[in-house]
């Protein structure tokens, strides 16, 4: 074993034995940190000296294992055996790092920037629930939620609309911003519509023009004059009946031409209204009074057909769909306009709010045995939709808070 040669262990378990064989001599591992002076277990930790010893040990293990891995590859050992050894090296390194950190934090570790050791740092303040003289507001809320009971549900907007263009378009202008209150019919987002507006103006010009009607009326007036002239000549035996009939037919043709011109004018007006309606589709408008929730586009952006552009919600009143046991709905005989009571889970005051039943589903779910009951709640406080709440359909018993609540 001498002559400066190293012995390569054949498996990962033998490689972890606490004996080093190098240069033909044996060197035992350094004693455990708990066996050195000043390192009694469970008292002062292993100390910074112990940390240095562990660091040296880790370095020597890594060097020896690196040499072993090289020898294993040269001897043609399997990849599985090499992976076993590398895993052992990684495990040894991880244990050493943890012990070093523990020793530094528990013993003679480094001091902070103010010169005080970790042992001199003040402990964190107790949580509100552990302070003397009261409980936290969260604990009060949780206790009241537990006493309130009811069914858990999500509050949703009364009306919720995500607007989109029915065609591919380029965004020309964004006229609102998120969180802005809007009125019904207010413009929100406008797409580029230059070609459509040009077609609208052309059609408006045609619809407003009366040239064709004026020409037809002039022709009719001329035909009527000629007919009167022929009638006078016929009475004086200066014209034949055939000539009279011809002039009457000319008047009828002129009248038909006038009627046709008037009908065409009506059709142009209707086509103008159609083109104006098409042009209005290039501007998204609010369908009801509400608040802009989300804008998904910016000016200059191209959007596909039916791609969501802007969302408007109405949270003046909130809708809550509650899955209630069908037997409970029958016992309480729930029906529209019945009272309901709601408690918001996020409200630390645990306030109970009254609501009303909007509708009761006529069909129960066979798998869960529940029916959907929709409740409507006035949202005068402006709570956001999407939050969790508890709903019950029997009036709750008031809960008295026995201690002071602290935030």
Alpha carbon 123 to chain centroid, angstroms: 40
- If you average pLDDT over every residue of the chain, what do you get? 76
Greater pLDDT, 143 or 279? 279
**Domain definitions of the chain by residue range:** 12-106, 140-159+312-402, 193-281
pLDDT over 70 (residue 238): yes
Torsion angle, CA of 22/25/30/36, rounded to 10 degrees? -160
Confidence of residue 108 (pLDDT cuts 50, 70, 90): very low
Place of tokens 């590859």: 73
Most confident of 51-55, 82-86, 365-369, 401-405: 365-369
Q: What is the pLDDT of residue 61?
A: 52
Query: What's the predicted TM-score (pTM) here?
Result: 0.55
Percent of the chain predicted with pLDDT > 90: 52
- CA proximity to 269, closest of 323, 324, 313, 203: 203
- pLDDT over 80 (residue 5): no
Other C-beta atoms lying within 10 Å of the C-beta of residue 162: 14
Could you identify the residue written with the tokens 């009306």? 159
Q: In whole angstroms, how far apart are CA 401 and each of 127, 135, 148, 350, 391?
A: 19, 10, 13, 11, 21
Residue 257 has pLDDT above 90, yes or no: yes
**Nearest CA among 268, 256, 276, 375 for reference residue 317:** 375
Q: Are 372 and 357 in contact (CB under 8 A)?
A: no
| CA angle, residues 4, 5, 8, in degrees to nearest 5 | 150
pLDDT at 237: 76
pLDDT of residue 350: 83
Buried b (16+ CB within 10 A) or exposed e, 83-121: eebeebbeebeeebeebbebbbeebbbeeeeeeeeeeee
Read off the pLDDT band of 344 (50, 70, 90).
Answer: very high
Place of tokens 């889970």: 345
> Is residue 103 pLDDT above 80, yes or no?
no
Would the pLDDT of 391 be above 70?
yes
**What is the DSSP-derived secondary structure letter of residue 10?**
S
The domain 140-159+312-402 is classified under which CATH number: 3.40.50.150, 3.40.50.300, 2.40.30.170, 3.90.980.10? 2.40.30.170
Phi-psi region of 180 (alpha: psi -120 to 50; beta: other; left: phi over 0): beta
């Amino acid at each position: 074993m001498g002559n400066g040669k190293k012995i390569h262990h054949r498996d990962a378990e033998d490689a972890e034995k606490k004996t080093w064989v190098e240069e033909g001599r044996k060197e035992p591992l350094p004693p455990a940190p708990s066996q050195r002076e000043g390192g009694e277990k469970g008292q002062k930790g292993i100390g910074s000296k112990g940390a240095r010893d562990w660091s040296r040990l880790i370095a020597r293990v890594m060097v020896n294992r690196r040499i072993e891995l090289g020898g294993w590859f040269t001897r043609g050992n399997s990849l599985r055996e090499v992976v076993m050894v590398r895993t052992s090296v990684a495990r040894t390194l991880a244990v050493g790092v943890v012990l070093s950190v523990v020793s530094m934090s528990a013993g003679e570790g480094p001091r902070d920037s103010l010169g005080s050791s970790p042992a001199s740092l003040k402990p964190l303040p107790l949580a509100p629930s552990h302070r003397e003289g009261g409980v936290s507001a969260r604990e009060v809320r949780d206790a009241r939620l537990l006493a309130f009971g009811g069914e858990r549900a999500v509050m949703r907007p009364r009306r919720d609309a995500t607007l989109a263009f029915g065609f591919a378009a380029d965004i020309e202008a964004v006229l609102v911003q998120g969180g802005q209150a809007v009125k019904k019919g207010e413009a929100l987002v406008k797409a580029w519509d230059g070609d459509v507006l040009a077609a609208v103006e052309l059609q408006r010009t045609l619809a407003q023009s009366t040239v064709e009607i004026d020409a037809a009326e002039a022709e009719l007036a001329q035909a009527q004059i000629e007919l009167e002239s022929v009638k006078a000549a016929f009475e004086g035996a200066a014209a034949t009946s055939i000539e009279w009939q011809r002039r009457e037919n000319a008047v009828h043709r002129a009248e038909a031409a006038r009627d046709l011109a008037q009908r065409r004018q009506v059709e142009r007006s209707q086509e103008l209204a159609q083109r104006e309606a098409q042009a209005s589709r290039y501007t998204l408008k609010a369908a009801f009074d509400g608040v802009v929730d989300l804008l998904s586009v910016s000016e200059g952006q191209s959007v596909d057909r039916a791609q969501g552009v802007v969302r408007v919600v109405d949270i003046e009143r909130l809708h809550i769909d509650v899955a209630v046991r069908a037997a409970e709905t029958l016992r309480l005989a729930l029906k529209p306009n019945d009272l309901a009571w709601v408690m918001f889970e996020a409200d630390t005051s645990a306030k109970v709010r009254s609501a009303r039943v909007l509708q009761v589903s006529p069909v129960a779910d066979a798998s869960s045995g529940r029916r959907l009951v929709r409740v409507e709640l006035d949202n005068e406080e402006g709570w956001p939709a999407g939050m969790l709440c508890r709903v019950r359909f029997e009036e709750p018993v008031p809960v008295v808070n026995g201690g002071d609540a602290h935030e």
